[in-house]
Amino acid sequence: MDTQDTSPSVLLFFDKQRFIFNAGEGLQRFCTEHKIKLSKIDHIFLSRVCSETAGGLPGLLLTLAGIGEAGMSVNVWGPSDLKYLVDAMKSFIPNAAMVHTRSFGPALSSDVDAAHELSKFCDPIVLVDDEVVKISAILVHPSSNRGFQPFSEDDMGQSNRSQEERRNHDSEARSSTSKSSSAVKPGDMSVVYVCELPEIKGKFDPSKAASFGLKPGPKYRELQLGNSVMSDRQKIMVHPSDVLGPSVPGPVVLLVDCPTEAHVLELMSLQSLKTYYEDLSDQTETGKVVTCVIHLSPTSILGSPNYQKWVKRFGSSQHIMAGHDRKNVSIPILKSSAKIAARLNHLCPQLFPAPGFWSPQQLTFPGSDSCASTEIEVSDHYKSTLAENLLKFTLRPYAQLGFDRSSIPSQESLSEVINGLHSDIPEILDAVHHVSQLWSGSAGTNANIHVEDSHTMVEEPWLNENNVPSCLENIRRDDLEIVLLGTGSSQPSKYRNVSSIYINLFSKGSMLLDCGEGTLGQLKRRYGIEGADAAVRGLRCIWISHIHADHHTGLTRILALRRDLLREVPHEPVLVIGPRQLKRYLDAYQILEDLDMQFLDCKYTTQASLEAFQKVATEIDNSPLEGPISSTDGNNIDGGKKPVSSLFVRGSRMQSYRKGPSSPIDINAAMPLLKYMNKVLNEAGLEALISFPVVHCPQSYGVILKAAERVNLDGKVIPGWKIVYSGDTRPCPELMEASRGATVLIHEATFEDSLMDEAVAKNHSTTSEAVDIGNSAGAYRIVLTHFSQRYPKIPVIEERHMHKTCIAFDLMSVNVADLLVLPKVLPYLKLLFRNEMMVDESDDIVTLEA
């Protein structure tokens, strides 16, 4: 069901066939948790082609393509704009040729007569038709013909018009509509799917067969198969209806996705649906009784008078409302993840403020009326029920027709989770007290950290550091927060989502570093629904490290939501910085829906390119840039002169980048975007964003974020903090140089130390290598992330690495004012997971990396 952080999906399954309707973000993670085998999926149907319904499709296709030696083949169906999505995905899915995409509906082109094209698709389009099920598609495009009445009261009651008149009326309506809209735009088309099971034939009556002169034998079988036969004793044909009891009509299920009021008007006018309405007095034997209607439409549409009027036409059909419903938010879609989040929040609410289990009150800002506007009312005028996770509706056998609630996950309250934790680990009560003590004194409750007082709150000798960076002097809590939204690698698992880091600059906006599938859902789990919307509105820049799917497939969902949230507000497009293959994907995708963004290739944001840009800008304008662009301590990021450390002896020889600056022609072409980036950085209080090449796949990068310097009340100049994010990489000189003097180094640590060979083969780092890079570069704090899914809860890490290091968990929020005590929390985190240090989920994991 839809719990605001995921889109609803429906699984239609038979003994040997599986069909999924819609594959939004989080589908794969949900199925992993509930052990739903996606490897058995034969067909995926999209009710619309957009990030909301198809956000989980790239990851799902990559997973299926990686199953077995040959990979799994799956059919993907959708309206004609599906081809744009497939074209876009080909830029990063190497197995795209294995995907059998089947689009249907009118051609989407400006030189095509829309009225003529649409008139070809008045009748249902049969997609699947076998002995098990018949699945048809009925197209719904937004109606912009305001003068056309969908149907009159007379139409709803009785109609004396002939079938021909109806067809003419429908054709005229479509023609009129398409004249005013000129063409069907990509992303506009919606689909009603009709699933029809075959009728159950009546019981064979041998006595009736004998009365028609038939002898027992093969002819009995023929009649049961629906064939007529010649009587053995009489010169007559015997038909199946002569010897079979009354048949039982097969169940009919409709899946309806009606995204806007304009779609509702078209839905009401569709002649192809009239055979399913119960309120027509001229209903003949061709009329079909609909067993169940599943509504995927948003709540604002479900409650509209026109939609309600349309729903009533199905009479006694059962309706399941699966759209957005505010009540659902208190039911975590990912139960295991919520349970971990609740335990972490109980132990250390300073680093883990997300409660895991939200209440509707927590999710609504004061003064917000959104709660009232997003409720689905269960109607008294027709049979309806609200969807639940894993709610089933049985279609066969006929005797069990109806709801089956046996698989609905049981709900565990927050108090039950915490009581269970106290029972499992009694020492956790003392740990909670000790952790809270870490934040007492100058480091926690006060808004500022005074460097000279830092020794008063430190107990362990290794934390009694005199080298607290000067950038932390008088730091404010509203200066910077780093939120680790996703800390796993390859694909989402029960406990860790894929890579994404939210950089919260508070009143100055925010950024994302990588944006794997489910990033939006993670933002909602961290900040609540309204808070996540505010976070997305405030995004100024999204930086993507490389083209692997686990680092960017959540991007289109975030961009589409930001576009919608700011539609009526003056704003500037968000800046997306990434490798050039990402631009190919986004350019192809934007044919489908506008993403309201500007794209800048990472190669233009390397140290060498930025220096070349500054030189060109100075020559053109005879003035330097608004803000300085320099390496953070005089080192050349694109290849320092220092000798290569022994850290880099074991690694891939693959060089996935060029070290020189971009050519002058490239720089001139990128000049407007680089100036725009500089404007965005200045407004965010940042001095620099510098990408540097790393060793992983072609065009892989890490990034430096450097805050502008501050002046305190005494007039003292305080340098800005520096964050370095490694992306995915082997240890390399470029990363070492970039990390020098970092306030926080966020480094991937995919493998434990014993798996060095695998780390080398896959161009990843081990935990020791990540920590050694941070130590050698003099980073103040090291945060390890991007863990292999073989460590679903807590990875293996040696004690000697602890003194400046912390392990990242999903939704961990590191405020810059808390960096002093950050490593001190790690022993308590290990206590929390002492009974489950390593649980291998690898049998369910298929990598998303090419």
Given this model, what pLDDT does residue 183 score? 56
Percent of the chain at pLDDT exceeding 70: 77
Global pTM value? 0.85
Nearest Cα neighbor of 140 from 96, 177, 95 is: 177
Q: Are 414 and 342 contacting, i.e. CB atoms less than 8 angstroms apart?
A: yes
Tens digits of per-residue pLDDT, 743-770? 999 999 999 888 999 999 999 999 999 9
Given this model, what pLDDT does residue 113 score? 58
More confident residue, 259 or 460: 259
Q: Are 58 and 553 contacting, i.e. CB atoms less than 8 angstroms apart?
A: yes
Here the tokens at position 546 are 């490389």
**Strand-pair partners of 125:** 137
Residue length of the chain: 850
CA 36 to chain centre: 18
- CA distances from residue 263 to 276, 304, 663, 758, 799 in whole angstroms, order as listed: 19, 12, 50, 52, 60
Query: What mean pLDDT is predicted for residues 813-823?
Result: 95
Which of 54-68, 334-348, 468-482, 726-740 has the least mean pLDDT?
54-68
Q: Largest Cα–Cα distance of the chain, in whole Å?
A: 116
What is the identity of the amino acid at 823?
P
Q: Are 313 and 341 contacting, i.e. CB atoms less than 8 angstroms apart?
A: no
Here the tokens at position 187 are 């992303």
Given this model, what pLDDT does residue 621 score? 65
Residue bearing tokens 């009974």: 835
SS3 837: coil
What is the identity of the amino acid at 383?
K
Nearest Cα neighbor of 106 from 168, 178, 165 is: 178
The DSSP call for residue 843 is G
Here the tokens at position 522 are 């993670």
Mean predicted lDDT score pLDDT of the chain: 81
Residue 148 has pLDDT above 50, yes or no: no
Here the tokens at position 655 are 């060089």
Tens digits of per-residue pLDDT, 475-499? 999 999 999 999 999 888 888 999 9
Given this model, what pLDDT does residue 111 score? 52
Query: Burial code of 810-839, b = ≥16 C-beta within 10 A, e = fewer?
Result: bbbbbbbbbbbbbbbbbebbeebbeeeeee
For every residue of 586-652, DSSP letters joined together read: HHHHTTTS---EEEEEGGGGBHHHHHHHHHHHHHHHSS--SS----SSS--TTS-SSPPPGGGSSS-
Residue 334 has pLDDT above 70, yes or no: yes
Spatial distance between the Cα atoms of 89 and 93, rounded to a whole number of angstroms:
6
Cite the DSSP H helix spans in 130-217.
Answer: 153-157, 163-181, 206-211
SS3 21: strand
Given this model, what pLDDT does residue 38 score? 82
- ω into 397 cis (within 30 of 0): yes
Which of 247-251, 346-350, 390-394 has the least mean pLDDT?
247-251
Given this model, what pLDDT does residue 322 score? 87
For every residue of 25-51, DSSP letters joined together read: TTHHHHHHHTT--GGG--EEE-SS-SH
Given this model, what pLDDT does residue 615 score? 85
Tens digits of per-residue pLDDT, 152-179? 434 433 333 444 444 444 444 434 333 3
Query: What mean pLDDT is predicted for residues 723-730?
Result: 96
Spatial distance between the Cα atoms of 242 and 648, rounded to a whole number of angstroms:
84
Given this model, what pLDDT does residue 521 score? 92
Tens digits of per-residue pLDDT, 596-651? 999 999 999 999 999 988 888 777 766 555 444 444 443 433 333 333 344 444 44
More confident residue, 329 or 758: 758
Nearest Cα neighbor of 700 from 804, 587, 552 is: 552
Structure confidence at residue 835 as a pLDDT band (50, 70, 90) = confident
Query: What mean pLDDT is predicted for residues 419-445?
Result: 83
SS3 318: strand
Residue 88 has pLDDT above 70, yes or no: yes
Structure confidence at residue 384 as a pLDDT band (50, 70, 90) = confident
Characterise 736 by phi-psi region: left (phi > 0), alpha (psi -120 to 50), beta (else): alpha
Spatial distance between the Cα atoms of 742 and 300, rounded to a whole number of angstroms:
48
Given this model, what pLDDT does residue 233 score? 87
Which of 195-209, 731-745, 783-797 has the least mean pLDDT?
783-797
Dihedral angle at the C-alpha atoms of 836, 838, 842, 848, nearest 10 degrees?
A: 100
Residue 653 has pLDDT above 90, yes or no: no
For the CA atoms of the chain, what is the radius of gyration?
A: 31
CA 367 to chain centre: 29
- Give strand ranges (E) for 378-480: 383-386, 392-394, 402-404
Residue bearing tokens 């900040």: 527
Instruction: Put the strands of the sheet holding 292-295 in their side by side order.
Output: 125-129, 134-140, 190-196, 252-256, 292-295, 318-321, 383-386
Structure confidence at residue 96 as a pLDDT band (50, 70, 90) = low
Given this model, what pLDDT does residue 450 score? 36
Query: What mean pLDDT is predicted for residues 685-708?
Result: 96
| DSSP-derived pairing of the beta strands 237-238 and 481-486 | unpaired
For every residue of 84-107, DSSP letters joined together read: HHHHHHTTT-TTGGG-EEEEESS-
Query: What mean pLDDT is predicted for residues 211-216?
Result: 90
SS3 447: coil
Structure confidence at residue 367 as a pLDDT band (50, 70, 90) = very low
Spatial distance between the Cα atoms of 200 and 814, rounded to a whole number of angstroms:
61
Given this model, what pLDDT does residue 329 score? 62
Structure confidence at residue 287 as a pLDDT band (50, 70, 90) = low
Tens digits of per-residue pLDDT, 295-322? 998 888 988 999 999 999 998 899 999 8
**Strand-pair partners of 781:** 744
Percent of the chain at pLDDT exceeding 90: 50
Spatial distance between the Cα atoms of 215 and 222, rounded to a whole number of angstroms:
13
Structure confidence at residue 544 as a pLDDT band (50, 70, 90) = very high
